Structures are given as structure tokens and as C-alpha cells.
């Protein structure tokens, strides 16, 4: 098996707070990230695909195609946004790093054939990153 990873960046703002919770409860769970004034991150996202190397090209996937896909489905959707105000997905689920990684997974799953989406890694801060995959499922 061969994997290929490619890194991208976007900037976005968020407030971590459930709308059905009181401000006190949100503060207790999310700490300063629940501040209604919001704050931003320069996110890194690493997309890993797996598959077979095409013997004709020696490549697993066209980087140009992968870049175009990530741009239209992920970066255009997230970059420069206030996530929980502007995206319906994040009005419903708090835009934690975990939920953003799952958003990226859903946006790319099944779109990179013949390669398969293997892992999404979201870097939120220098000290904080998450990885998401749906092991055992063909993406």
C-alpha cells in the first residue's frame, strides 16, 4: 500500500459553544474558547490518500486534481469564515478541531478515486492537532 499526504492551510474564526447550553456550562466545558467575541486560528490540514501507483504515471493520484478538489470542497468553504456563524454544519455541531476534521473527511470522501481517502489531520495550534479516519470503510 502506498499513501500520499498533502498539506494545506486556511484561516477561520469560531466560538466553541452549544446553543442549547447556558453560557456558564459552555465556559465550564470549552473554557476561553467559549468567549462569544470569537477568536481565530491558522489551521493546517493534511489529507492522506492511499491506493495503487499508476504504472503509467508512477503516481498514486494527480496532485493537481487533489489540490483542485481540496480547494473547491474544503478551502473555499472554510477559509476566511466564521465557522459557527456562516456554515450550517457548525451551527449544528460545535466547530472543534474534531468536528472540522470530520467535515473535511465528509467533503472529500469518495471523491479521489481510484485512490481512497485514508486520513485527515487537522492542526489547530502548535500544541493541538487531531486525526480522523473511518477505518475499514472504503471512502
Task: Choose one: 25-33, 77-85, 91-99, 100-108; the region binding Ni ion (CB under 5 A).
Answer: 25-33
Contacts of residue 117, Cβ cutoff 8 Å, sequence gap at least 6: 47, 48, 49, 105, 108, 109, 110, 111, 139
Based on the shown chain and the rule CB under 5 A, indicate whether residue 130 belongs to the binding site for Ni ion.
Answer: no
What does the radius of gyration of the chain's CA atoms come to, in whole angstroms? Answer: 17
Q: Which residue has the cell 481517502?
A: 117
Per CB under 5 A, the segment of 28-36, 43-51, 66-74, 82-90 that binds Ni ion is 28-36
Residue placing its CB nearer to Ni ion in the complex, 16 or 74: 16
Q: Which is closer to Ni ion, CB of 32 or CB of 57?
A: 32
Which span (18-26, 33-41, 61-69, 95-103) binds Ni ion, by CB under 5 A? 33-41
Pick 27 or 33: Cβ nearer Ni ion? 33
How many residues sit close enough to Ni ion to count as binding (CB under 5 A)? Answer: 1
Determine if 33 is a binding residue for Ni ion (CB under 5 A).
yes
Q: How far, in Å, CA of 14 to CA of 31, rounded?
A: 13
Which residue ranges make up the site for Ni ion (CB under 5 A)? 33
Amino acid at each position: 500500500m502506498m499513501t500520499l499526504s498533502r498539506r494545506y492551510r486556511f484561516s477561520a474564526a469560531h466560538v466553541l459553544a452549544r446553543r442549547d447550553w447556558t453560557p456558564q456550562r459552555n465556559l465550564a466545558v470549552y473554557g476561553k474558547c467559549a468567549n462569544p467575541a470569537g477568536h481565530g486560528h491558522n489551521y493546517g490540514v493534511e489529507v492522506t490518500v492511499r491506493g495503487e501507483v499508476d504504472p503509467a504515471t508512477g503516481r498514486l493520484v494527480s496532485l493537481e486534481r487533489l489540490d483542485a478538489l481540496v480547494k473547491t470542497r474544503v478551502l473555499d468553504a472554510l477559509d476566511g469564515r466564521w465557522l459557527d456563524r456562516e456554515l450550517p454544519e457548525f451551527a449544528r455541531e460545535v466547530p472543534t478541531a474534531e468536528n472540522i476534521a470530520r467535515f473535511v473527511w465528509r467533503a472529500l470522501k469518495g471523491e479521489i478515486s481510484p485512490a481512497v481517502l485514508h486520513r485527515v489531520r487537522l492542526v489547530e495550534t502548535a500544541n493541538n492537532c487531531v486525526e480522523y479516519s473511518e477505518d475499514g470503510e472504503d471512502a
